[in-house]
Chains A and B, each alone.
Chain A
């Protein structure tokens, strides 16, 4: 992994006339954008052949700042738009930035079916456990009892686990980290980008403005510490399971890494057989 300076990343990969970003102080989305661009830089990916697709929400603003083709689509529909892009031009590298609400609520169905179809795209889901853009409403990922502007008495709905969902539907690559794991995160994004088929990287990310404030969890740093404390690496987790122990902590790490033929390859092969 190259430890190049931020200046090089900014200079090579960002649309400088779009800066500064709209992200709040302490927001983790900028970090995830940084991790992603470092992964792209390390892999020397051709930005003329890369399309960033997003839906609506804070995280969906990321493609606007990246100097490449970008498709800022509709709320929840990023993966469906991305499917069209990738199927129509398989030469393009298609990367989706999405949030937890965009991906897990309004876009949940597209998420499931793109995995089922095994479309060759990389989905980076920035999970801040809340709807940030609209000012802090409950999300499908909001933990039980958490306060949001629409759960003033605490959340009573069970949250969805995006990475585990991706795993059970059959995504060939799934990893989950937090913004406190930059090196691991960059490595997983690199692996995801190299995987042929649907790859999913979920990054738990602090939203001090909404989630932190409403739940009295302190600063971005406090939230990041909380993420570190409330998660457990899959390797440790499996060890615990083997010992008959259990935990409430969220499992992070590389959750799936298998080979599976993707839609485009299958389609191309069967078209060839028809001729």
Chain B
């Protein structure tokens, strides 16, 4: 199948927008099912998938709303097909119940959220990072998802592939948090040598159907992720959003069964935090002030840090690529020598909270918010670094 992708994609160097990069990433990652609903600024993802899916033996369907879209994506994934949907704030809100279902039933899927200004209908064409907390906590109950935040169009393509891999590896919904800025910005993208791209598939059931238990772990490996038997494979799997035992059967009043299940759902991801936690840093060795950024905001943040360095300020930069799960231990460690941490975000302060929790009371953590659609300029962030909060 990947040969078809190479043949169809043609050119190695492209000049495309972030939404298109999601499409190319999905094609390379073997995504062959897309269900969606038009919404600015994510519509171009649906348009791209509508163009490519029929040519690659995949399915594109425009559903009646975002709830139906993610429901169809989960249904498709139950048959073993890698599946994705793309939306923005209002649609992302509608999808929350199904995201919880994907967590509970451990059905892999990728959800792209090209963030726009909210709440409510808000600013459809303007960028924001207002859904950061929602990505983690939008659905009810204890759970753990994975969320990635690219800073460029190239990285959007790379992280889309990674989103599928993580989703398959851990059998969790993976949320790719873009924003309108990256979604609609055109940049040069170099398609990877497809032969070299690592594409993961969920671990299939290896034991016979008579002994297989859909939610038993440890058949062939120590991981807390169970092996997967797709619908139609003869394993006759029952999938439910109710609390269930290892057979997949509902057990709704046992504290033990519920706790064992929910703890495993969280731990299967958090146990591998060191593997999952992607980040980038610069100028940290002697840094007394550290800027922590993610997504689009990382671009002006890097510029601001370089400008401050020229002015002799000992400032460093960390960019979170994996924003959920949040690596408290590692963040505490990398921020331990700083007296001040500055967190520029295109919201009124969301990621600043876990950072504050990670560093403790002895480090000053400053939120550098900007909302309304315009991204931070380097000077916006430099002002905070220089201690000029006006």
Hey, which bits of chain A sit against chain B, CB under 8 A?
Answer: 15, 17-18, 47-49, 51, 53, 63-64, 67-74, 77, 80-89, 91-92, 109-110, 112-113, 117, 263, 267, 270-271, 274-275
Contacts and interface: CB of A to CB of B under 8 A. Distances in A.
B383 interface: no
Given A15-B249, A51-B78, A81-B74, 6 more contacts: A80-B67, A85-B75, A85-B79, A87-B59, A88-B83, A267-B54
26 contacts: A15-B238, A48-B233, A48-B234, A63-B238, A64-B250, A67-B236, A70-B239, A71-B239, A73-B71, A73-B75, A74-B241, A80-B63, A80-B67, A81-B71, A81-B74, A84-B35, A84-B77, A86-B75, A87-B33, A87-B59, A87-B76, A88-B77, A92-B232, A109-B64, A117-B61, A271-B54
B65 A109 contact: yes
Contacts of A70: 237-240
Contacts of B71: 73-74, 77, 80-81, 83-84, 110
Contacts of B233: 48
B247 A17 contact: yes
Given A88-B81, A270-B54, A77 B98 contact: yes
Give the interface centre of B71, B75, B238 by most chain A CB atoms within 10 Å. B75
A48 B234 CA distance: 5
A92 B234 CA distance: 11
A262 B235 CA distance: 28
A83 B79 contact: no
B75 A83 contact: yes
A110 B65 CA distance: 9
Contacts of A17: 247, 249
A57 to B, nearest CB: 13
A49 B235 CA distance: 10
Nearest to A116: B64
A72 B242 contact: yes
A113 B239 contact: no
A80 B97 CA distance: 14
A86 B73 CA distance: 11
A232 to B, nearest CB: 33
B269 interface: no
B57 interface: yes
A252 to B, nearest CB: 29
Contact of A109 (B68, B76, B247): B68
Interface of B: 32-33, 35, 54-55, 57, 59, 61, 63-65, 67-68, 71-81, 83, 97-98, 101, 231-242, 247, 249-250
Contacts of A92: 79, 231-232
B129 to A, nearest CB: 28
Nearest to A88: B76
B33 A84 contact: yes
A63 B237 CA distance: 11
B232 A91 contact: yes
A80 B75 CA distance: 8
Contact of B75 (A47, A63, A81, A274): A81
Nearest to A111: B64
A73 B242 CA distance: 9
A74 B234 CA distance: 24
A81 B109 CA distance: 13
A87 B77 CA distance: 11
Given A64-B240, A89-B79, A110 B101 contact: no
B79 A73 contact: no
A184 B297 CA distance: 65
Contacts of B35: 83-84
Nearest to B59: A87
Top 5 A-B residue pairs of the complex, sorted by shortest distance between their CB atoms: A84-B75, A84-B72, A88-B76, A80-B71, A72-B240
Contacts of A88: 32-33, 59, 75-77, 79, 81, 83
B73 A84 contact: yes
A80 B83 CA distance: 14
B232 A89 contact: yes
B85 to A, nearest CB: 10
Chain A CB count within 10 A is highest, among B71, B237, B239, for: B71
Contact of B76 (A63, A85, A91, A275): A85
